[in-house]
Amino acid sequence: MAEVEKKARTVTGKVVSDKMDKSITVVVERSVAHPLYGKYVRRSTKMHAHDETNDARMGDTVTIQETRPLSKTKTWKLVEIVERAKEV
């Protein structure tokens, strides 16, 4: 019987830190309905991702993909830079 490959999760977020070597911190925001009142509330999650080429910069919008654990906190890798941050 052939093995069926699972498609890895991908999420889009904003880079909030690029100070580490070959690593970035990405904030992913999502909207969740409040259980009692029904109002949508913004929730965010910080994820550490592997950036092999040190290409992503702070403020960039990026797509990251789930991967095997690369360190204690890194389980995501950079797939693409969707939008560059505006230079000031």
For residue 5, being part of any structural domain is answered with no
Residue 54 has a pLDDT of 95
Domain that holds residue 62: 10-83
Task: Give me the sign of the Cα torsion angle 19, 16, 57, 63.
Answer: positive
Tokens of 61: 């919008």
For residue 73, being part of any structural domain is answered with yes
Per the structure, the count of domains in the chain is 1
For residue 57, being part of any structural domain is answered with yes
CATH, residue 15: 2.40.50.140
For residue 1, being part of any structural domain is answered with no
Residue 1 has pLDDT above 70, yes or no: no
CB 32 within 8 A of CB 43: yes
> What tens digit of pLDDT does each residue of 27-84 get?
999 999 999 999 999 999 999 999 999 999 999 999 999 999 999 999 999 999 999 9
For residue 3, being part of any structural domain is answered with no
CA–CA distance, 5 with 24 (Å, rounded to integer): 27
Residue 78 has a pLDDT of 98
CA–CA distance, 27 with 45 (Å, rounded to integer): 6
For residue 88, being part of any structural domain is answered with no
Which pLDDT band, with edges at 50, 70 and 90, does 3 fall under?
Answer: confident
